[in-house]
Structure formats: C-alpha cells, structure tokens
Structure 1
C-alpha cells in the first residue's frame, strides 16, 4: 500500500512539539508505542538545522497525525544528550533525527535532507510501522530462515530483494550476514565495502560491519581464553583480561556472559583506559542490534551504572 502524505489530512492536535529531558520518556519512548515519533536534535548555532527543521515540520504535519515530531535543543538538554550518547545514539553532530517506534530507535539520519528525501524517510517509516512495506514479509521470512540455520535459503531471498531494491539496507545487511554464516566472510566484506557512503552509515549496515570486526577479534581472543580466566583469577582488577574475555565469549555466542563481563569491568573502574570497557560494550550493542534482548538488558545495566 502506498503511503500518501496529504496536507488536507492534517487535522487534530499539532503533531509537532518541543521536548526536553523531563518529558522525553513520555513524549518519545511511550508515545512511540502508538505512532512513530521523530526526534530532531538541533541547536541555535547550527546552520543546517535552520533549513531542516521547517521542512521536517511541514512533512510531519502533512502526514495527518500518523507520525509525530519532538524537537530537542541539545544545549538546553545536555544531560539527556549525554545519556543517549553513552547508550549508543550518535549525537556528536547536529542535526540528527532519530525515528522511534515501539520504544526503540527504528532509523536515523544526520544532516539536512531535502523535502523529497524527508517524505521518503517518513513514508518508509510509516510502512514499516504499519507492517505494509512490500518487502516486509520477505525480509521477515529471510530473517526467520537465517535464524533457523538455513543461510542458503535466506541468501536467495536477500539477494533477490537487493536486486529489486538496491538501496534496501536491511536486505543488503541480511545478505552479508548470510555470507558470514556460509563462511564467506571476505565476500561479505567486499560487498559492504562497495556500498555508497550513505548506505554504510545505515544502522543495519553498521551493525553487520561491527559483527565482522568482532568476529575477527574474537577468533584471536578464543585461543587465549584460559589465559584470560587465569589472569582474572589472580587479579580481578585486570581490566584488559576482562575485556578480552568478553570478546572471546561474544565470539562463542555467549552474549549475556560477554555483556555481564564488561558491565563488571565498568562497575570496577569505568574510566580505565579511556572507558575501554564501555566502548567495547557499545560495539557489542552495534553488532547485536538495537532490539536484541541482550542489548536491551545490558543497556539498562549500563544506564544503572552510569547514572546511579
């Protein structure tokens, strides 16, 4: 079903509002369980923000209440920005627009996009939220096949979708994951390296690239698993050994144990080696995906440590 943005349907309460750190949970996280919510992180000194925000407001209002926009001034909400950044949301530059759906980040972009690209972004978000995106069922089927261990069958679906929709980041990321599962990691890396800069920045693509990097590091760490455990037994504050142990555990598909190992390192000394344990945990989050159950649980644990 084609999603049409029609200004004549823009009735009811204004879907555009200013937000802050006090109301973020209510206006964004909780509200996104009903309709998709875009969060525009901006600043008064940001030139591109002055071009993006009015266009974004126009497109959101034209969606007729099917999507909302919450604008966050980063200078007035530094605590919120710091917390979101530490939890893995890239807010080093503005404007950054994050789309929330069902309490989680569904997509994001940075920089000022033209109105046509904004419409496309919101249309894709609405299709995803409504479960009506033409390729959604195929993507779900391929994902299910891959999770069930049939990477070859999943590969055929992802490859077909990639040919039909060359800009479909989910299909391309799925294709790379199938290649990894089929022990064709070099081919997966070549495919990812050939993508446009825009696609490389997509969260799905970033996730699979992080997965490859962690797999490479994990193979090296696994060979010294016993040594890391012995070092920790001798000295529980050997943070380097604890981080390497987490990398090895992750490569063995022991995600929960890997996350708990890094959380223990952060608890003992969060500042060690320029927050190395925290950075490694964020790398895990990126590779596992925003909605992975272990990511969600570990993110809550990280938040509790950082803001206790």
Structure 2
C-alpha cells in the first residue's frame, strides 16, 4: 500500500529492509537547504500514490541519519535509492523529468490499475475470452468511457465470434482517441472475420481467399499475406482485385513500421510492375 514515511536509523530495518521483501521501497535522501528537494519530494509522493509504493524520506539535515547517509554513500541530494529484497536495486541521482523518473520507477512498481490492464491483455492474448469478458464488464461498470477498456472489449468480442458487438464498439472511436488507429485496424479486420465465417465456399480463387482470411483472423499475418500474394500473382483481377485490397488492409492493421509490412509491400510492388 502506498505511503510516505520519514526514515530514521531506528525504523530503517522495519520500514525499508523488511518492507522491501514484499515490495521494493524507494528511499529519498533530501535536504531543506537545497531548493530542488522540496518539489522533487512532492512529485515522488504523488508517484508513490499513483504507482502504489512506499516512499521513505531520509532528512540529510538530521545528524542522527549520518549513519544511513554514509551507508548508502549519498553523494548529492536529491538522491533516490530503490531497495528491493534488502538490496539496492537502483540509484537515481539528481532531479529527473517526471516521465523519465516514472520510467525508471516502473521497473519496480506497477499500479493496481496497470496490473489489472496487464492481466486483461494477457487473457486476451492467450485467447481466454471467457475469463476476459467478465473482467471487462466489471471494469466498464466503473469506467464506461475508458477507451483502452473498450478496445479490449472489442478484441474479446471478436475472439468470441460476436462481430456485431465488436463493430458496435469500434465504430464509436474517433480520431481524437489514442486508440483510434488500433480500433480502425480491427474494424477493417471484421471483413476477414465475415469471410472466414462463410460456409460452402466455391471456386479455386474463392477457396484460397477464404483460407487466407481465416489465417488473418487467427493473426497468422505472414501466412495470410503470402496466401493473398500468391492469389494476386495467379489472379490479380479476381473479385475486383480482392487479394491486393486484402494485403493493403493488413498493412494498415500491422502499421507502416512493421517488418511484415515492409517485406510484403516490397513483394507486392515487385509483382505489380513485372
């Protein structure tokens, strides 16, 4: 549980060493004589709440703390020592910008909210949608407008085969949302799911296209891209150039920097201009 405690030689063993066996403790060495220490201590206090960790503050102005200062070999203030399992795991010297400080601390501390989000993402990645959906429903009761949760809800619905629900959720994202590109990509994948759900597909090209869509739905994107490319080579004009359009859609899903986008865009361009 997050808290800020004044650390002295008397409570050091309990508040830092013993406490760090369960969760790392951040120990801040500061002094009222240095103007940077006050705002930095306040920032760390805020982070201890949002990231859920104990912040121990050692006053370097108190002579009785000299033993701690010497033991930690403090060279300047403010200085943060992360103690994990009784050992110094990291030393953060000087004043870091908030985002950089958070990045350093995130190696050791994750908020309850972040842990819940990670558990959800892991359940969906493992295709354990039956576990993920109840968790999402409960979370969305508390935060119905949370776009990150809504995106996960769409993914879980898609995994359960409920394309209509997924479409309903994804259609509500706007360009102002951080998750818009991902939502747009998933929305584009709905066509693959619709095609993969078809029964009794007839015709050589249609069967190849159908199987490639199934590969895309299972997120075997490289195999899907190769299958679409093969179809494009054999029948570039089939169904209005459907194979090429499918590849372009997958490039959008993967993003412009993905290695598969680079690889198969080059292959597609080569085939188009032979």
When the two structures are superposed, what TM-score results if normalisation uses the length of structure 1?
Answer: 0.42
When the two structures are superposed, what TM-score results if normalisation uses the length of structure 2?
Answer: 0.46
Please identify the structure whose Cα radius of gyration is greater. Answer: 2
Which structure has the higher relative contact order (CA within 8 Å, separation 6+)?
Answer: 1
